[in-house]
C-alpha cells in the first residue's frame, strides 16, 4: 500500500465519517439527551434523500434548495411523530420497548409509502454543476462534492455545538437532559422543547440523506441498513456526546474505508462491531461518555 | 390568600400519601410544615408544584386553580421550588443555572438580566464570585444558595423550600437563614419544610404539624413548640 492509497482511503474514510457523524448526531441528541430510542431515524435519512432526488430531477429548484426543503419536511414529520406518538407513550409511562415498536412501525409504514411513490429500483441523485469535477490534494485527486460533504458535516456539527453551549434554547435543552423535573419546576416547557429537538434531529437526518444521495445512491432500505452502524457510532462515542459522536464517526469511517480495501466490505462491517466490543469492555460508557446509561 | 389546599389526596401508585390535607398561606407570610419523616411534607410541596398531581381536592395559587396543571405552567405563575436534593444542573455553570428560570420568564414578569443578577448577588454574595464555576463543584452551602436563588427568579410571588438547611454546617445555616430573613423582610411568601424546629421557629410566623398525610395541628410557632411530642429532637 503506497502513500497515494493511504491518502485516498483516509479521505474516503472521512467522507463516510462525515455522513455517519451527521446522521448519528441527530440520533444521539434524541437518545442521549432525551432518552428517546428513535429507530425511524434511518427512515428520515432515506426520505431526505428521496426529497433531494425529486427536487433535483423534476423541478428547477436545484440542489441548493433541497437541503432546506428536506430539513423542513423531515423535521416537521419528526416533530409530528414525537408530539403525537412518543409524547403519548411518555404520558402513559411506557418505556423504551414501546418507543422501539412505535418508531419501527412508523419507519416500516413510511418505507412502504416511499416504495409506492418512488419505486424500489435503486437510483442516484446528480451532483450540482458547481461541485462537479475534482481537486488535486497533494498525491491524490479528490471529487469536489465529497469534500463539500465533509465541509457541510463540519459546519453543521459546529453549529450544533454553538447551539447547545452558547444559546439560551440550548441551555434549556441541556437543563432538561440533566434534571427534567427541576427544569420544569423553573418554568421550562419540556414537552415542547423535546418535540423541537426531536424535529431538529430528524431534520439533520434528512439533510444527511440529501448529501449522501450522490455518493451512496438511493434505495428504500438505505435507512435500515445504516441504522445498526449508527447505533455503534453513538454507543462508541458515548450517549449524548456530540464530540464523542465525531470521534467515533471518524474511527468507524476509517475502519470501513481501510477494512473494505484490505479485506472486504463484509469484513469491514464485522470489524466495526469487533472494535466496538473491545472498546466497550475497557470503557463501558463509550469514548467520551459521561457515565450516563440509556435513560 | 396566596396558596390554598383543600382536601387534597395524593397517591404514589397504591400508596395514599396525602389524605385530605388542607392548608393555606397568606400573602407575605412564612409558614412552616413540620412532622417526622414520611408524613407527607415533601409530597405536599411536590403536589403544589404539580410534579405529583393531586388525585383529588383542589390547589389554588394567587387566584388560579393549579390542580393537575403542568409544573412549568405553575412556575410561570410565579411559584418557585427548592427541592430537597437541590435539583441543580450539575454540568452547567452558576450563571447558566440562574439563566434557566430567567429564560422562562414571560410577559410582565420579564426583567432585565442585570437587575436579576444584582438582586441575586446582593442576597447571596458568594455566588457572585462563582459565576463561571460548574454547579456540581460548589460546596453544599453554595449549592443550596444557588438552588434558592434560582427558585427566587421564577418564584417572584412565592417559594416552596424543602429542608433548606439539611446537611449544612452551622455557619452556613446561619448565612442561609439570614438571607431567608431578608426575603421575608422583602415581603416574599414562603412555605417551608424544615426538620430543624429551631430554624423553623426563627423564620416562620405560623406552622402546621403533619401526621400521616393530614394536618394534626395548626398554630403560631410559639404554641406549636409546646406540642412537639410527635417531632424528633432538634439540632
Kindly report, residue by residue over A195-206, the tens digit of the pLDDT: 999 999 999 999
Written as nine digits, the cell of A133 is 469535477
Q: Is A174's CB within 8 Å of B92's CB?
A: yes
For the segment A131-157, the average pLDDT, to the nearest whole number, is 92
For the segment B213-226, the average pLDDT, to the nearest whole number, is 86
For the segment B157-176, the average pLDDT, to the nearest whole number, is 88
**A171-194 pLDDT per residue, tens:** 999 999 899 999 999 999 999 999
**A38-56 pLDDT per residue, tens:** 899 999 999 999 999 988 8
Task: Report whether pLDDT(B211) > 70.
Answer: yes
Residue A265's pLDDT band, with cuts at 50, 70 and 90, is confident
Q: Is A179's CB within 8 Å of B72's CB?
A: no
Task: Report whether pLDDT(B170) > 60.
Answer: yes
Task: Report whether pLDDT(B128) > 70.
Answer: yes
**B20-32 pLDDT per residue, tens:** 999 999 999 999 9
User: Three-state DSSP class for B12?
Assistant: strand
For the segment A18-22, the average pLDDT, to the nearest whole number, is 94
Task: Report whether pLDDT(A292) > 50.
Answer: no
| Cα end-to-end span (Å), chain A | 45
User: What is the pLDDT, as a whole number, of residue B116?
Assistant: 92
User: Three-state DSSP class for B70?
Assistant: coil
Residue linked to cell 479521505: A11
Residue B220's pLDDT band, with cuts at 50, 70 and 90, is confident
Provide the chain A residues 150-169 that lie in CB contact (below 8 A) with chain B.
168
Task: Report whether pLDDT(A5) > 60.
Answer: yes
Could you report the predicted ipTM of this complex, rounded to two decimals? Answer: 0.91
- The β-bridge relationship of strands B79-82 and B64-65 is unpaired
Q: What is the DSSP letter of B55?
A: S
CA distances for B215 relative to B83, B196, B208, angstroms: 21, 19, 6
CA distances for B36 relative to A2, B33, B209, B227, angstroms: 76, 10, 9, 13
Task: Report whether pLDDT(B203) > 50.
Answer: yes
CA distances for A231 relative to A39, A228, A236, A253, B176, angstroms: 10, 5, 8, 14, 47
Say yes or no: A135 contacts chain B, CB-CB below 8 A: no
* A&B contacts, CB < 8 Å: 72
- Residues in chain B closer than 8 A to A182 (CB atoms): 83, 87-89
Mutation target vs B (from A187, A188, A242, A292; most B CBs, 10 A cutoff): A187
User: What is the pLDDT, as a whole number, of residue A90?
Assistant: 84
CA B144 to chain centre: 12
The more confident residue out of B232 and B47 is: B47
User: What is the pLDDT, as a whole number, of residue A225?
Assistant: 82
* Nearest CA distance, A181 vs chain B (angstrom): 7
User: What is the pLDDT, as a whole number, of residue B231?
Assistant: 52
Q: Is A187's CB within 8 Å of B105's CB?
A: yes
Measured CA to CA, the distance from residue B161 to residue B157 in angstroms comes to 13
Residue B66 CA neighbour count, 13 Å, CB half: 28
Candidates B87, B88, B104; nearest CB to A188: B104
Q: Is B154's CB within 8 Å of A182's CB?
A: no
Alpha-helix residue ranges (DSSP H) falling in chain B: 41-48, 71-75, 94-103, 113-123, 125-128, 140-154, 170-185, 197-203, 221-225
Phi, psi of B33 (to 5 degrees): -105, 120
For the segment B194-204, the average pLDDT, to the nearest whole number, is 87
Alpha-helix residue ranges (DSSP H) falling in A59-167: 63-81, 87-91, 96-118, 144-166
CA A220 to chain centre: 16
- Residues in chain A closer than 8 A to B51 (CB atoms): 181, 184-185
Measured CA to CA, the distance from residue A129 to residue A148 in angstroms comes to 13
Task: Report whether pLDDT(B224) > 70.
Answer: yes
User: What is the pLDDT, as a whole number, of residue A295?
Assistant: 31
User: What is the pLDDT, as a whole number, of residue A293?
Assistant: 37
Say yes or no: A291 contacts chain B, CB-CB below 8 A: no
Say yes or no: B105 contacts chain A, CB-CB below 8 A: yes
Task: Report whether pLDDT(A244) > 60.
Answer: yes
Q: Is A171's CB within 8 Å of B96's CB?
A: yes
Measured CA to CA, the distance from residue B232 to residue B235 in angstroms comes to 10
Q: State which residue of chain B sits closest to A175, comparing Cα positions.
A: B89
Residue B157 CA neighbour count, 13 Å, CB half: 19
Measured CA to CA, the distance from residue B35 to residue B214 in angstroms comes to 10
Measured CA to CA, the distance from residue B36 to residue B232 in angstroms comes to 7
From the list A28, A2, A67, the residue with the least C-alpha distance to A248 is: A28
User: What is the pLDDT, as a whole number, of residue B234?
Assistant: 47
Amino acid at each position: 500500500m503506497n502513500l497515494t492509497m493511504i491518502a485516498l482511503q483516509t479521505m474516503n474514510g472521512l467522507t463516510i465519517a462525515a455522513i455517519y457523524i451527521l446522521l448519528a448526531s441527530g440520533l444521539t441528541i434524541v437518545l442521549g439527551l432525551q432518552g428517546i430510542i428513535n429507530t425511524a431515524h434511518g427512515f428520515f435519512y432515506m426520505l431526505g434523500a428521496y426529497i433531494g432526488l425529486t427536487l433535483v430531477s423534476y423541478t428547477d429548484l436545484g440542489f441548493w434548495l433541497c437541503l432546506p426543503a428536506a430539513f423542513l419536511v423531515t423535521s416537521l414529520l419528526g416533530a409530528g411523530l414525537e408530539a403525537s406518538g412518543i409524547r403519548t407513550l411518555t404520558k402513559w409511562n411506557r418505556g423504551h420497548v414501546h418507543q422501539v415498536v412505535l418508531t419501527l412501525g412508523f419507519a416500516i409504514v413510511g418505507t412502504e409509502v416511499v416504495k409506492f411513490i418512488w419505486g424500489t429500483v435503486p437510483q442516484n441523485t446528480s451532483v450540482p454543476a458547481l461541485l462537479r469535477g475534482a481537486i488535486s490534494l497533494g498525491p491524490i485527486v479528490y471529487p469536489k462534492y465529497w469534500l463539500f460533504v465533509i465541509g457541510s458535516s463540519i459546519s453543521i456539527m459546529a453549529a450544533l455545538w454553538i447551539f447547545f453551549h452558547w444559546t439560551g434554547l440550548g441551555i434549556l435543552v441541556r437543563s432538561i437532559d440533566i434534571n427534567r423535573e427541576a427544569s420544569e419546576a423553573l418554568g421550562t416547557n419540556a414537552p415542547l422543547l423535546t418535540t423541537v429537538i426531536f424535529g431538529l434531529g430528524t431534520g439533520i437526518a434528512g439533510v444527511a440523506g440529501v448529501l449522501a444521495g450522490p455518493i451512496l445512491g438511493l434505495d428504500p432500505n438505505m435507512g435500515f441498513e445504516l441504522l445498526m452502524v449508527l447505533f455503534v457510532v453513538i454507543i462508541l462515542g458515548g450517549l449524548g456526546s456530540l464530540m464523542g459522536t465525531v470521534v467515533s464517526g471518524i474511527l468507524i469511517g476509517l475502519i470501513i474505508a481501510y477494512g473494505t480495501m484490505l479485506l472486504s466490505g463484509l469484513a469491514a462491517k464485522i470489524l466495526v462491531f469487533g472494535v466496538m466490543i473491545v472498546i466497550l469492555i475497557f470503557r463501558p460508557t463509550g469514548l467520551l461518555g459521561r457515565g450516563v446509561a440509556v435513560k | 390568600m396566596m396558596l390554598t389546599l383543600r382536601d387534597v389526596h395524593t397517591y404514589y401508585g397504591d400508596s395514599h400519601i396525602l389524605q385530605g390535607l388542607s392548608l393555606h398561606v397568606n400573602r407575605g407570610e412564612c409558614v412552616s410544615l413540620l412532622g417526622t419523616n414520611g408524613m407527607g411534607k415533601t409530597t405536599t410541596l411536590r403536589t403544589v408544584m404539580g410534579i405529583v398531581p393531586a388525585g383529588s381536592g383542589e390547589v389554588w395559587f394567587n387566584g388560579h386553580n393549579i390542580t393537575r396543571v403542568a409544573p412549568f405552567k405553575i412556575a410561570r405563575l410565579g411559584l418557585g421550588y427548592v427541592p430537597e436534593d437541590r435539583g441543580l444542573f450539575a454540568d452547567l455553570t452558576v450563571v447558566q443555572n440562574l439563566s434557566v428560570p430567567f429564560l422562562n420568564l414571560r410577559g410582565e414578569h420579564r426583567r432585565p438580566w442585570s437587575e436579576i443578577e444584582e438582586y441575586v448577588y446582593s442576597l447571596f454574595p458568594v455566588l457572585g464570585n462563582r459565576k463561571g464555576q460548574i454547579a456540581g463543584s460548589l460546596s453544599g452551602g453554595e449549592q443550596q444558595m444557588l438552588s434558592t436563588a434560582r427558585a427566587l427568579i421564577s418564584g417572584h410571588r412565592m417559594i416552596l423550600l424543602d429542608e433548606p438547611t439539611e446537611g449544612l454546617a452551622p455557619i452556613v445555616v446561619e448565612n442561609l437563614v439570614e438571607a431567608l430573613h431578608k426575603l421575608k423582610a422583602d415581603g416574599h411568601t414562603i412555605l417551608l419544610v424544615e426538620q430543624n424546629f429551631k430554624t423553623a421557629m426563627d423564620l416562620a410566623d405560623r406552622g402546621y404539624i403533619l401526621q400521616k398525610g393530614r394536618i394534626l395541628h395548626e398554630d403560631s410557632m410559639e404554641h406549636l413548640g409546646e406540642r412537639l411530642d410527635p417531632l424528633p429532637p432538634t439540632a
